[in-house]
Amino acid sequence: MRGSHHHHHHGSMPTYFHVGALAKDCLINGFKIGAWQMHCSTRTDNDFYLNTFGEGYPTMKNVFGGMEVFKEVGNYSTSLGWFTNNDLLSEIAVRGMNFGSRLYGLLKSTIGTTDEVSFQTKLKCGLERDPVKVELVVPLYNEPLFLGYVLVAPVENWVLGYRTECNFDEKGFDKHALCLGYNNGRTEVGLKLENFEDLRGSIFQRIGEAWAFAIKTNLYSSENVKQFAIGVQYDFQNGTMVKAKLREDSRMGFVYQSKIGENIDVGYHLAFDGVDPIGGAHRIGVSWGFHC
């Protein structure tokens, strides 16, 4: 299922994708809502989790959705998902400890049934032993991408990582990236150097208890593309947050996120052209999440 399962836990070390995550959260989370999104997760008595989600766009011709059943037994877990584009997704996971290292493996298979039946499968495996984490995604069948990263947390609040991506279908399109991250909970700095050509940076800073701002920009690009986003957020400390964002192409966006009771999350998103707020392109979106 797209998005992360809140009930998966692979130990405590951050992953490669945690570098710059607070800035990303501030600048991206909620701003992606197209028209409407709904998500519902339920836990049954015997520890089955059931997730359903749907999203639709103004035309209503393209509605996408799915459901997933997830079950955890000891160190094993398994899930089966079905999507409206007739894909079936199955996952089998195992994790354990060995010689003071945390190990985990996840076998992911997709069965597509739209035109003819297709089958893809890949293995995700990882090892954590403070201060090092290694994760690999190994293609087993019909899956072109090999991914891997190594992350080192040498001193508190700092991480250094290397990530590689090889595409077996398109030779020569390999990607390499180095990253450096600092995060003490209030200040976060992230730097990513991709293919030794593009340097991207992000800063996130809390001000007091409620305010925070974030900046994300590419500091150096081989093709001299300027990308830039700046955002502020205000957290009402009661589950409600408001965010505003401005991009280099003068797009402005606003997000309002709130909770209704314990179990319902609501998000509203409005975006428009800052130079021409009335005549430019608009986007409005709503998302609902239910945790029963």
Tell me the Ramachandran region of residue 155: left when phi exceeds 0, alpha when psi lies from -120 to 50, beta otherwise: beta
Percent of the chain with pLDDT over 70: 94
Domains of the chain as residue ranges with CATH: 21-291 (2.40.160.10)
217: pLDDT strictly greater than 50: yes
Q: Report the Cα–Cα distance between both ends of the chain, in Å, rounded.
A: 18
Spatial distance between the Cα atoms of 168 and 159, rounded to a whole number of angstroms: 29
Give yes or no for a contact between 104 and 91, defined as CB atoms under 8 angstroms apart: no
284: pLDDT strictly greater than 90: no
204: pLDDT strictly greater than 60: yes
Per-residue model confidence (pLDDT) at position 12: 65
79-119 pLDDT, tens digit each: 999 998 889 999 999 999 988 899 999 999 999 987 888 99
Tell me the pLDDT band of 44, cut-offs 50, 70 and 90. Answer: confident
- Rounded to 5 degrees, φ, ψ at 24 are -65, -45
